């Protein structure tokens, strides 16, 4: 007796899940999920010669605030652009695009935070 996959047994060709827009959306979603897991899987410590713990916490809080403000501004701009183009996306599932935008926002926040801390003389220790 030959074993068949559940999809094949149901009469759905196996390749149907990997072709077309749905397949692309699934592949992109999987990539974003995997990248997101690696993004949050480690913590970062900052070090600076001569900096007290209090100063380090204060500098980190300042850089986080700067990253929050800049990414919120960028997110608002992106939402305005998306609202202006909403007619072009009528009937289209935009959740994969929203997931990619969320991933981009997280990467942007991290980049701004790292740049700010480096400008203040800190080095990243992973």
Q: Per residue of the chain (126 residues), give pLDDT as tens.
A: 444 444 444 454 444 444 566 666 656 666 655 555 555 545 788 999 999 999 999 999 999 999 999 999 988 887 777 777 666 655 566 566 667 778 888 899 999 999 999 999 999 987
C-alpha 101/C-alpha 78 separation (Å) is 9
DSSP 3-state of 100: helix
Token duo for residue 14 = 């196996």
- What are the φ and ψ backbone dihedral angles of 92, each rounded to 5 degrees? -105, 135
Question: Is residue 12 assigned to a domain?
Answer: no
Domain assignment of residue 77, given as a range: 19-86+93-125
d(CA 42, CA 8): 40
- The answer to the question of residue 77 being in a domain is yes
Whether residue 98 lies inside any domain: the answer is: yes
8 is a domain residue: no
Q: What is the pLDDT of residue 78?
A: 78
Q: pTM, whole model, 2 decimals?
A: 0.56
- The closest alpha carbon to 44, from 117, 119, 120, 121, belongs to 117
- Residue 14 falls inside a structural domain: no
Specify the number of domains making up the chain: 1
| Residue 64, burial from CB neighbour count under 10 angstroms (0-12, 13-18, 19+) | middle
């Amino acid at each position: 007796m030959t074993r068949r996959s559940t999809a094949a047994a149901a009469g759905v060709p196996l390749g149907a899940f990997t072709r077309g827009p749905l397949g692309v959306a699934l592949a992109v979603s999987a990539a974003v999920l995997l990248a997101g897991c690696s993004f949050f899987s480690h913590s970062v410590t900052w070090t600076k010669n001569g900096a007290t713990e209090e100063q380090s916490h204060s500098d980190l809080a300042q850089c986080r605030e700067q990253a929050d403000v800049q990414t919120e501004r960028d997110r608002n701009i992106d939402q305005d652009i998306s609202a202006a183009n909403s007619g072009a996306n009528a009937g289209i599932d935009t959740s994969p695009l929203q997931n990619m935008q969320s991933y981009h926002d997280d990467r942007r926040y991290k980049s701004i935070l790292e740049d700010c801390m480096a400008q203040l003389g800190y080095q990243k220790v992973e």
